[in-house]
Structure 1
Amino acid sequence: MTVGLLLLALLVAQGGATAEPRPTIAQARAKLVKLNEQADEVVEKYNQATESYQKARKKYQGLNTALERKRARLDALREGLVSLAVGSYQFGGLSGMQGFLDSGNADAMLSRMTSIDQMARTQTEALRSFEATTVELRAQRDEAKVVLAEADTERDKVGKEKKKADRLVREQTKLLRQLGAFNVGDPNSTGIAYTGPASGDARVALEFAFAQVGKPYRYGATGPGSYDCSGFSQASWRAAGVQLPRTTYEQWAWGAGRRVPLDALQPGDLLFSRGLGHMGIYAGDGKMVHSPQTGDVVKVVTIDGYWRGRFLGAVRP
Structure 2
Amino acid sequence: MFDVRKRRIPAVAGLAAAVLLTVQVGAAADPRPTLAQARAKLAQLNDKADAVVERFNTVNEKYKAARTKYERLNKEYATEQAKVEGLRESVVSTASGLYQYGGLSSVPGLMSQQDPSGLLAGLAVAGQVSAGQAWTLNEFDAATKGLRVRRTTAKAAFDDLGDLLGDVGKEKKKVEKLVGEQENLLRRLNQFNAGDPNSRGITYDGPASGSARKALQFAYAQVGKPYRYGATGPGSYDCSGFAQASWAAAGVKLPRTTYQQWAWGASRRVSLKALEPGDLVFSNGFGHMGIYAGDGKMVHAPRTGDVVKVVTMASYGPGRFVGAVRP
| Deviation string, structure 1 residues 293-313 (Cα, Å, up to 9, x no partner) | 000000001112125422121
Q: TM-score, normalised by structure 1?
A: 0.90
In structure 2, distance between residues paired with 1:301 and 1:146: 47
Alignment of 1:75-94 (within 5 A): 75-90=85-100
Residue 2 (structure 1) aligned to one of 6, 10, 31: 10
Partner of 1:105: none
Check if 1:284 corresponds to 2:274: no
Q: What number of residue pairs does the alignment pair up?
A: 295
The answer as to whether partners of 1:194 and 1:207 remain within 8 angstroms in 2 is: yes
| Alignment-derived partner of residue 213 in structure 2 | 203
The 8 Å contact of residues 260 and 313 in structure 1, kept in 2 or not, is answered as: yes
Q: Deviations over 1:207-265 (max 9, x none)?
A: 00000000000001110000000100000000001111111111111111111010111
Q: Establish whether residue 212 from structure 1 lines up as the match of residue 222 from structure 2.
A: yes
Percent of residue pairs identical: 60
TM-score, normalised via structure 2 length = 0.87
- Candidates 17, 20, 26, aligned match of 1:12: 20
1:51-62 alignment, distance < 5 Å: 51-62=61-72
| Alignment-mate amino acid for residue 14 of structure 2 | L
Q: Deviation per CA, 1:119-152, whole angstroms, max 9, x where unpaired?
A: 6111111111111111111111111111111111
Equivalence for 2:267: 257
Q: Quote the Cα distance in structure 1 between the aligned partners of 2:143 and 2:290.
A: 51
Give the AA of the match of 1:309: G
Residue from 47, 51, 60 that aligns with 1:41:
51
Q: Which runs of 5+ in 2 are unaligned?
A: 1-8, 104-127
Structure 1 segment 95-244 matched on structure 2, within 5 A: 120-244=130-254
Alignment-derived partner of residue 320 in structure 2: 310
Structure 1 unaligned segments of length 5 or more: list them: 94-117
Give the C-alpha shift of residue 92 in structure 1.
6.2
* Matching residue of 1:50: 60
- Give the stretch that moved more between structures: 154-163 or 143-152: 143-152
Paired residues of 1:252 and 1:315 also in contact (CA < 8 A) = yes
Give how far 1:86 is off.
Answer: 2.1
RMSD across aligned C-alpha pairs, in angstroms? 1.7
